[in-house]
Amino acid sequence: MVDIKTVGVIGAGQMGSGIAHVCALAGYDVLLHDISRDRIDAGLALIERNLTRQAHRGIIDEAAVAAALAHIKPAESLADIGATDLAIEAATENEETKKAIFRSLQPHLKPDTLLASNTSSISITRLASSTDRPERFIGLHFMNPVPLMKLVEIIRGIATDVPTYETAVNFAKSLGKITSNAEDFPAFIVNRVLVPMINEAIYTLYEGVGTVDAIDTAMKLGANHPMGPLELGDFIGLDTVLSIMNVLHEGLADSKYRPCPLLVKYVEAGWLGKKAGRGFYDYRGEVPIPTR
């Protein structure tokens, strides 16, 4: 098995910065890359805020904040990521975007570098086939928000070898995570169950069965969910929800996975949820207000 000491994270958004955060906190040297220095700097600032928040809550001590930040360095060039022991892609949930990243990274990789994708729905086998090392490629699906959520789904492609799998499991455990093994089917386990539930909640809204507030209140108080499904969709990002539903619909060819037309309309409008200021709730004021 590869002895992982350095980790490259490609994508400095919410997921990528969260992955960099937990890796640095666990003592790994981390390189964080995105398509611009502004995005990298925004990711680094988010990591610092979240580490400081953890310290204020007594989850970690102040010394751990400084130590973790010292472990993270910006990587303006994708080529820099090639020198790491493990490169984790955490870009937008689009298959062609992810494949393009791996193709661009390939010429710069060390012979023994392991590759991982944080994809929440896309075939690991297909992503691996776009690289020169499908046997050293694996899915590491972290949950959002990464610093708080304990689970990492481990997904093997058809070519993933045993040492890569064992290294990935040990790595996830070293971050304080619990692993769940999923077969390489569309959306794996968590999103195969979760995202169709969100889509069904949107259908419930679309068909006039209940309002945004009624649906979320019903599921929080009637099913003991900590967050209503429409609020959760906003938190995940409605563009991501739609992308996952499309992967399920295309990959499994079952009409029960058809994305709700209202979900499509919200994404077309740019109402992508919390990150955009509007989704099923309007977040631009002091208190979120339902938009339907």
Which CATH number is 23's domain given?
Answer: 3.40.50.720
* Side-chain-side CA neighbours of residue 66 (13 Å): 3
Domain-terminating residue out of 182, 209, 227: 182
Q: Mean pLDDT of successive 10-residue segments in the chain (292 residues)?
A: 91 96 98 96 96 94 95 95 97 94 96 96 95 97 95 98 97 98 96 97 98 98 97 95 96 96 98 96 96 94
What pLDDT is attached to residue 118? 97
> Residue 222 is part of a domain; what is its CATH number?
1.10.1040.10
Q: Is residue 1 part of a domain?
A: no
What pLDDT is attached to residue 1? 62
Domain-terminating residue out of 127, 148, 182: 182
Q: Is residue 20 part of a domain?
A: yes
What pLDDT is attached to residue 59? 94
Rg (CA), the chain: 19
Residue 167 tokens read as 């290294």
Q: Is residue 93 part of a domain?
A: yes
Cross-strand partners of 180 = 153
153 contacts 28 by C-beta, under 8 angstroms: no
Q: Is residue 96 part of a domain?
A: yes
What pLDDT is attached to residue 30? 98
Co-location of 134 and 248 in the same domain: no
Q: What whole-number distance in Å separates Cα of residue 55 and Cα of residue 78?
A: 32
Cross-strand partners of 72 = 30
Co-location of 178 and 215 in the same domain: no
Co-location of 161 and 283 in the same domain: no
Q: What is the pTM for the complete model shown?
A: 0.90
Choose among 43, 59, 68: nearest CA to 148. 59
Co-location of 67 and 146 in the same domain: yes
Co-location of 68 and 175 in the same domain: yes
How far is residue 109 from each of residues 37, 87, 103, 190, measured CA to CA in Å? 22, 9, 11, 31
Domain count, the chain: 2
Query: What residues act catalytically?
Result: 120, 141, 153, 191
- 204 is in which domain, residue-wise? 191-290
How would you classify the pairing of strands 281-282 and 289-290?
antiparallel
Co-location of 195 and 119 in the same domain: no
Other Cβ atoms less than 10 A from the Cβ of 261: the count is: 11
Q: What whole-number distance in Å separates Cα of residue 23 and Cα of residue 213?
A: 38
How far is residue 221 from each of residues 68, 208, 214, 224, 227, measured CA to CA in Å? 39, 20, 10, 5, 10
Contacts of 14 (CB under 8 A, 6+ apart): 46, 144, 145, 275
